[in-house]
Chain A
Amino acid sequence: MHLPISDKIELNILHQNSHQAEKNKVKFNNYNLLCLNIMSSPGAGKTRLLEITLEDLSKEFQSAVLEGDMTTNLDAARLEKFNIPVVPITTGRACHLDASMVSGGLKLLEKKINPDLLDILLVENVGNLVCPAEFEIGEHFKVALLSITEGEDKPLKYPIMFREADLILITKVDLLPYLNFDIKELKSNIKSTNPKAEVIEISSLTKSGFDLWQNWISKKIMKFKNK
């Protein structure tokens, strides 16, 4: 045996995932396809958000969905009624989507439709405020949902998720009159964690704020297409 040698590497632990995420992004770019990674805790309203969003979005843009779910295809089934390509990705015990799962989902999507025909790919991540924050999938933007029933302190308790998000949607705001909830405090906590994030308040029940969200998506698609 020889003396020990120390080899300096300085490589990201998630290098393998980041490498695949970069490959996914190149594919999305080649297809001129904007990809949003939609994340939140379970029950914050991701699937309902997509249901309402797709009603209007489908009139203007060609959309597709990759639907991450741990054990069922229930969410994917809810979205198939919009006559758009929906690919369920069942993660099994994994509590987040990673870049290779999205790559697999994209391959299945390519069998359903030529992605050149699409404008936007909405990826619904697994409901979790921790793991999805660290695993890039090749997305262009990260959208985090936070429902008011979760409490004002969540941006401070799960800072990585809210720090990484480009847009934060505060959901279920129709419940504000019935809860002892301080939305100013929540917004202050979001600002503390991520001063650069855009914030939109929405309600899937009254549809308030959906015009702003749809407008945000439209602008991002148009800017991406004209880049």
Chain B
Amino acid sequence: MHEVDMTKCLILSIEEWAEKKNKEKIVVEKINLKIGEFTCVEPISLINTFNAAVLGSWLDSSEIIIETIPFEGKCSKCNRSYFPQKENGYKSPCCNFNLEEIISGRELKIASIDFKEK
């Protein structure tokens, strides 16, 4: 359950951000995350873990919103982008080349935080 440790990191980062905003005077509404498809994160597990972790805390009313970023590679022979598939060993469908360059899908980001001032 690495989502637990990810949640810990996430909350620490939000705390750090909130300290700069004067934490006592804000209410966090949404935490917008970008999670790549080529990561070890299961979005539902992350949301459930976060909800359990913030229960009764100042983040209790906040909501995690996850935007899934597609796993996209670039063929190193013809430079075309493609969506790698496990079934054909992530090879490019155009030239059957191994996946060398990943364009997207490795994201584990806090994109933005929506908040209100009290």
CB pair A16 B118 closer than 8 Å: no
B11 smallest CB distance to A (angstroms): 9
B102 smallest CB distance to A (angstroms): 8
CB pair A159 B2 closer than 8 Å: no
Interface SS majority for chain B: mixed
Residue B58 CB within 8 A of the other chain:
no
A3 smallest CB distance to B (angstroms): 7
Interface SS majority for chain A: mixed
What residues of A have a CB within 8 angstroms of the CB of B32 in the complex? 6
Query: A130 touches which one: B2, B89, B112 (CB < 8 A)?
Result: B2
Query: B108 touches which one: A16, A134, A163 (CB < 8 A)?
Result: A134
What residues of B have a CB within 8 angstroms of the CB of A4 in the complex? 29, 114-116
A144 smallest CB distance to B (angstroms): 14
- When C-beta atoms are compared, the residue in chain A nearest to B3 turns out to be A131
Q: Interface readout for A54-72 with B: 1 if CB under 8 Å, 0 if not?
A: 0000000000000000000
Number of A positions contacting B (CB below 8 A): 39
Residue B5 CB within 8 A of the other chain:
yes
Interface hits, A97-126 → B, CB 8 Å:
98
CB pair A156 B89 closer than 8 Å: yes
Residue B12 CB within 8 A of the other chain:
yes
What residues of B have a CB within 8 angstroms of the CB of A95 in the complex? 1-2
Query: A9 touches which one: B17, B89, B99 (CB < 8 A)?
Result: B17
What residues of A have a CB within 8 angstroms of the CB of B90 in the complex? 156, 159, 192-193
CB pair A10 B109 closer than 8 Å: yes
Q: Determine the distance from Cα of A1 to Cα of B116 in the docked complex, in whole angstroms.
A: 7
Q: Interface readout for B4-23 with A: 1 if CB under 8 Å, 0 if not?
A: 11101110110001000100
CB pair B116 A12 closer than 8 Å: no
What residues of A have a CB within 8 angstroms of the CB of B4 in the complex? 94
Residue B39 CB within 8 A of the other chain:
yes
CB pair B114 A5 closer than 8 Å: yes
Cross-chain pairs A/B with CB under 8 angstroms, 18 sampled: A1-B117, A2-B117, A5-B116, A10-B112, A13-B9, A13-B13, A13-B33, A13-B109, A14-B108, A16-B12, A95-B1, A98-B5, A131-B5, A134-B108, A135-B2, A156-B86, A159-B38, A193-B99
Give residues in B with beta carbon < 8 Å to A. 1-2, 4-6, 8-10, 12-13, 17, 21, 27, 29, 32-33, 38-41, 86, 89-91, 98-100, 108-118
Give residues in A with beta carbon < 8 Å to B. 1-17, 93-96, 98, 130-131, 133-135, 156-157, 159-160, 163, 188-189, 191-193, 195-196
